[in-house]
Chain A
Amino acid sequence: MTDNLHNGVKQALIEVVDIKKSFKKSDNQDLLVLDNLHFTLREGELIALLGKSGSGKSTLLRIIAGLVKPNSGEVRFCHQPVYAPVPGMSMVFQSFALMPWLTVLQNVELGLEAQGVPPAERRARAIKAIDIIGLDGFESAFPKELSGGMRQRVGFARALVVDPTVLLMDEPFSALDVLTADNLRSDLLDLWNEGKTKLKGIVLVTHNIEEAAALADRILIFGSNPGCIRSELTVDLDHPRNESDPAFRKLVDDIYTLMTQPEEGVVAIRGLRFKTIDLGYRLPKVEISEITGFLEAVHTPEYKTKADLPEIAEELHLNVDDLFPITEILEIMRFATVEKGDIALTESGKQFADADILQRKKIFADNLMNYVPLARHIRHELDKDPGHRVSEERFLAELEDYLSHEAAEEVLKIVIDWGRYAEIFAYDYNTGLLSLENPQ
C-alpha cells in the first residue's frame, strides 16, 4: 500500500459525483441536507470527513455505502455505480452494531455467512481476523461481556474479515473514552500502515479535530445547511504524528480557523463581526449552563482579550460538537466574536460573566429579545393575545415553513428553554401552552 502511495499511479476507489440529498419535510416541501458533493478517494488514501453534527456527513457515508439513496448524483466504487451495499466496502459503526445474541466469533462470521463461505473456511478466517485485531481468547464471549473498546474491536474484526477494499467508519471512536479511543486509533493506524489487510482506502467520519489531524491524509471540512464541503486540507505529516509537534499544532489551528470561518449572515459592526439570523434559523442546541460556564472560563485574566479555541477546547474537554454550538450562539447573541480560531468577549459578554444570577437573567433576556428573532416573535405574539396564552403548536407550524418537523421541534424546545430562563415567557408542559404568567 505504501508502494502504491509512491509509484504515482493512484487509482480512484470511490468517486462521489454531484450528490444531492433532501429529506421530505412536508408533502410538497423538501429539506436539502447535502448539496453539490464531489470528491474522490484514491488508492492508499485515508480521508476524514470532518464537520459539526447535523452537517450530513454521516448521511454522506451511508450514501457511499449504498444504504441511503441520493436524490441525484452518483457514487462509483471502482468505476461501478453503487445502488446498494456492494462487496468490497464494509463499515464500522458508531455504536458498534453487534448482534447481542451472537458470540464474538459468530458476529465476526456474519459477513462471511452472507457471502456463502463454507463453515470451516469461515471459522478459520474469523479466528484469524480476531487474532489480528487483538481479541484472541474472547471468541466465545458475548458482546455484553466486553467493554466498549473491546466491542469496537469486534466491530473492526467483523468489517475486516470480509477483506474489504474500502473501509467506511462512522465516528468509530466517539463512543469510547479518551484512552481507549487513542489505543484503538493507533492499532488501526498500525494495521493500515503495515498492510496486514487488503484495505486500499478508508473514509472516516468524525467530529474530532485532533482525530482527523492525527489519522487523515486528506481532510474534507463540512459546512452545514445544507451539508457541503467547505474546504479541503492535504496533510503531509508522517505517521506516527506527534501531537505536540509544532507542525501538528499548526495543522489543528488551521482546521479551527477553517471551521470557524463565517458561513453566512455575518455583519460587521464597529469592526467586530457578528452573526445575524432570521426567524427560521436552526438554533444550536446549547444549555444555558454551557453558555454561562464557557463565558466564565473565557473571562479570566489568563485570556486577556482573546482566547485560542483549540487551547480552550482542550482546557474544557470540549470536542467540536460541544464547542462550535456554543461559540455560534455566543456570536448570535453578541456575547463574543470569533475570528481565525480565536474568540473574544464583547462588552455585554464581559458584563454577563461578572453579573450575579438575577442580573445575568436580565442581560440574557435583553440579548435574546434583540438578536434571536424567534424569541422576540413569541413574546410579541403573547403580548398581542388577549389572554396572553398561545399554543406551542402554532409556533411549531410556523417553524415548519423553514425546517423539518424534527428540527422545528428541537429549535422550539431550545428557544422555550432559553425564554423560560430569561423569564420572558412561561411554558406549561402538560398543555403545551406558552404564556406570560408565572406559575403559582
Chain B
Amino acid sequence: MFNSGRRTFSKNEVTSWSLPNYWDFIALILILSIILLIGWAAAGMTTTHYTVGETIPISLDPSALPYYSLRTVLRMLIGLLCSLIFTLTIGTLAAKSKRAEQVIIPLIDILQSVPVLGFQVIAVVPFLALFPNSLLGPECAAIFAIFTAQVWNMTLSFYQSSRTISPELIEAVQMFRLSAWQRFWRVDVPNAMPGLIWNSMMSMSASWFFVVASEAITVANKNITLPGIGSYIAAALPNADLHAVGYAIIAMLIVILAYDQLMFRPLNQWMERFRAEESDDVGRTQPWIISLFEHTRLMRNMGVLIGQFWDAFVNLSWFRQKKTVIQHEHNEWVSKIIVISWYSLVSIIMFTAIAFLVWYIKEAIAWHEVLWVICLGLFTGLRVIVLIFISSLIWVPVGVWVGLRPRATKIVQPLIQFLASFPAYLFFPVVVMLIVRFKLNPEIWTSPLMVLGTQWYILFNVIAGTLALPKDLRQVASNLQVTGWLWWKRLILPAIFPYFITGAITAAGGAWNASIVAEVVTWGDTTIRATGLGSYIAAYATNLNYPHLALGIAVMCLLVVIINRIFWRPLYNLAEKYYFFD
C-alpha cells in the first residue's frame, strides 16, 4: 500500500509491464515466504478433532520456538486487524453520532480498566460452543484477549483525531460534495493515521505483555495451552527451566525486531506524508524494506495496480448515491421524543446491567467478602500509587537527561519500545530467587513487576516533553544563570508537567491491569502471592469461580474509574490549562 502512495505521477503513465529485475526476486521471495508462513500457522490454528481437556503438549526444546513464535505472531496480527476494524467502525460512529458518542466513550473508558484476563474468561465459553471439536474455539478466545489488550487506545485515538479535523478542511469536503464514503477514506482515515500507527505500536507492546495470559486458557477446570511463545514461557516457569526462559527472550527479541523492520518502520516512514507539517527529523535513513521495493520493477507495477484498485475502491459508485437535499423542518416534538426515549433506553439498560451484576454477586458472596475485596483493591491501589511515585522519581531525571540530548533520544526510543513489550513473566525467576534467597517480604517485593511494562510511558512522555521545550527558554535560563533546583522548579518541571501527567495516567492504568500478572509469582515449585486485588482475580480465574471473578473485576473497574475521575482528570485539566505551550 505504501508503495502505491510513493509512486510519482507523470503525464505518461507507465502502461506496459516491464520485465522483473533482480530486486523483484528478493521481494518476491520475501512476500511468498511471509504468505507461506502465515498459511502454515493458520493451518495449525484450525486443527479439528480437538476435544476440550485434551492437553496440547508444549515442548521446551528451542527448535519448537520458531513455530510457536509464528503462531503467536499470527494471533497478534489477527488481533490487530480486528482492532483496526473495530476502531474504524465504532470510532467513526462515536465521532459522527452524538448519541452513540454518549454511550461508546464512557463504555470504552470502563472497558479499558477491565483486565485482559476478565475478557478471556467471559469469551472462552461462547467461542468453544461456536467451534466444537476444533482448536478454533480456544484460538478465538486467545485472539479476543489480545484484541482487548490492543483495541481501546486505538479507538480513542481515532475518535479524537476525527473530532479535531480543521473546520476549513471539512468545509472544503462539503463544498466539493464528497460522499461519506469518499470523505471517510480521503479525510477521516488519513487524518487519524499518525495517531493510529503510533497507538497500534503501543498496542502491540501491550499484547506482548499479556502473551502468557492470553495463550493459557482455563475452562471447566481444564487448562488449554495454545502453541505459542506465551505457553512456552508458561511451561518453563513451573519447570524452573532457566535456559528455556533465555530462549524465549531471544525468540521475542527476534520477533519484535522483525515486526519493527517489516511493519512499523515502513509504516512510520509512510506516516510522514500524513503529517500536516514537515518534521524536522531530516537525514533519517530510509527503511531497507522500502528501498527494496523501490528497486523492483515488477513489484512497482504491482504497486501501481494496487493503487488503481484502491482508487476504484474509494470511488465505488455504489457509495456515491447522493440524497436529494430538500429543506426539511425539524419537528421539535418528534426530536424531543426521540431524545427522551434514547436516554430512557440507555438508562434502563444500564440499570438492568447493574442490578443483574449486584444480584449475581449477592447470590454467591457475603457482604463481608465484598468489603474485603474493596480492601484488597485499596492494597493494590496503594502499590500502584507508591510505584508510580518511585518510578517518576527515577524516570523524570533520566527522561530530561535523554530529552536534552538528541542523539541519546534516537537510541533510547526504540529501546523503550522493546522494554515496554517485555512480559513480566520473564522476570519471575529473578524475583522469586531474590525473595527466597534474602527472605524478602513478598507484599513489597513482588510489586515492581506491576510497573515493569508501564513505567516506560512515564519515560517516553518526559522525553517528549523535554523535546517540546522551546530552545529559547533553555537559552534564557542559562543566560540568567538559572541552575540547580531553581532550574528544575522554574523551567523543566512546569514544562514537562502535562506530558508527565499523560504518561503517569497511562502507567497507572497499565499497572492496575498488570497486577493480575504480578501479584502471583511462580518459579519451579515456589509460588509467591501478595495480598491484593490482582492475586484475588488471578486465583478465581484459574478455578473459574464466576461470581468472585465478577466481583473482583467490578471492584477493579470501579476503583480505576473513580481514581481517574477524582485524581487524574483534574490534574490533567490543570496541566492542559496552564502548562501547554500554544
List residues of chain A with CB under 8 Å of any chain B CB: 62, 65, 67, 81, 83-85, 87, 89-91, 93-97, 99-103, 105, 110-111, 113-116, 119, 123, 127, 139-140, 142, 144-145, 158, 162, 430
Contacts and interface: CB of A to CB of B under 8 A. Distances in A.
Contacts of A81: 327
B209 to A, nearest CB: 32
Contact of A93 (B171, B191, B320): B171
Contacts of B311: 119
Interface string B117-160: 00000000000000000000000000000000000000000000
Contact of A97 (B172, B182, B275): B172
Contacts of A91: 171-172, 175
A4 to B, nearest CB: 25
21 contacts: A65-B175, A85-B174, A90-B175, A90-B176, A93-B171, A95-B166, A97-B172, A99-B169, A99-B187, A100-B274, A110-B186, A113-B314, A114-B179, A116-B317, A116-B320, A123-B9, A140-B8, A144-B275, A144-B276, A158-B176, A162-B176
Contacts of A116: 315, 317, 320
Interface centre among A83, A90, A95, A114, by most chain B C-beta atoms within 10 angstroms, is A114
Contacts of A142: 273
B383 to A, nearest CB: 34
A114 B182 contact: yes
Nearest to A65: B175
A101 B176 contact: no
A87 B9 CA distance: 28
B308 interface: yes
Contacts, number: 88
Contacts of B314: 113
Given A142-B273, A144-B276, A67 B179 contact: no
B284 to A, nearest CB: 16
A247 B472 CA distance: 50
B168 interface: yes
Pick the 5 closest A-B CB pairs, nearest first. Answer: A111-B176, A101-B190, A97-B168, A97-B172, A100-B276
A131 to B, nearest CB: 10
Contacts of B340: none
A97 B177 contact: no
Interface in B298-312: 308, 311-312
B9 A105 contact: yes
B326 interface: yes
B277 interface: yes
A89 B176 CA distance: 9
Nearest to B274: A101
A114 B278 contact: no
A176 B193 CA distance: 29
Contacts of B177: 85, 87, 111, 114-115
Contacts of A94: 168
A139 B273 CA distance: 15
Interface string B322-345: 000111000000000000000000
Given A110-B178, A144-B277, A102 B171 contact: no
A162 B312 CA distance: 20
B11 interface: yes
A205 to B, nearest CB: 13
Contact of B11 (A119, A127, A145): A127
A100 B171 contact: no
Interface residues of B, number: 38
A158 B9 CA distance: 17
Contact of B9 (A84, A115, A139): A139
A346 B71 CA distance: 85
A85 B274 contact: no
A113 B169 CA distance: 16
Nearest to B574: A430
Nearest to A91: B175
Contact of A119 (B182, B308, B325): B308
A113 B315 contact: yes
Given A87-B177, A140-B9, A162-B176, A113 B182 contact: yes
Interface string B269-293: 0000111111000000000000000
Contacts of A99: 169, 186-187, 190
Contact of B168 (A93, A123, A144, A158): A93
B273 A101 contact: yes
Nearest to B328: A83
Contacts of A123: 9, 13
Nearest to A103: B9
Nearest to A110: B176
Contacts of B320: 116
Given A103-B9, A116-B315, A83 B179 contact: no
A111 B176 CA distance: 5
A97 B166 contact: yes
B171 A67 contact: yes
Given A91-B171, A144-B275, A145-B278, 5 more contacts: A62-B171, A113-B182, A113-B315, A119-B312, A140-B9
A158 B193 CA distance: 24
Contacts of B9: 103, 105, 123, 139-140
A102 B277 contact: no
Contacts of A145: 278
Contacts of A90: 175-176
Contacts of A110: 176, 178, 186
Contacts of A83: 325-327
A111 B315 CA distance: 12
Interface string B341-373: 000000000000000000000000000000000
Contact of B172 (A84, A93, A115, A144): A93
A362 to B, nearest CB: 33
Nearest to A111: B176
Contacts of B168: 93-97
Contacts of A89: 175
A97 B168 CA distance: 6
A127 B273 CA distance: 21
A97 B186 CA distance: 14
B231 to A, nearest CB: 41
B187 A113 contact: no
Nearest to A119: B311
A85 B175 contact: yes
Contacts of B172: 91, 93, 97
Interface string B184-197: 00110011010000
A102 B276 CA distance: 10
A184 to B, nearest CB: 18
B180 to A, nearest CB: 11
Nearest to B187: A99
B175 A67 contact: yes
Contacts of B308: 119
Contact of B275 (A100, A105, A140): A100
A65 B178 CA distance: 15
Q: Which of B175, B176, B278, B314 has the most chain A CB within a 10 Å cutoff? A: B175
A422 B421 CA distance: 59
A367 B320 CA distance: 62
B154 to A, nearest CB: 19
Given A91-B172, A93-B168, A99-B169, A84 B274 contact: no
A319 B89 CA distance: 47
Contacts of B274: 100-101
Interface in B187-238: 187, 190-191, 193
A83 B275 CA distance: 34
B191 A101 contact: yes
A99 B276 CA distance: 8
Contacts of B193: 101
Contacts of A140: 8-9
A93 B11 CA distance: 28
A115 B174 CA distance: 12
Contacts of A67: 171, 174-175
Contacts of B171: 62, 67, 91, 93, 97
Interface in B530-547: none
Contacts of B312: 119
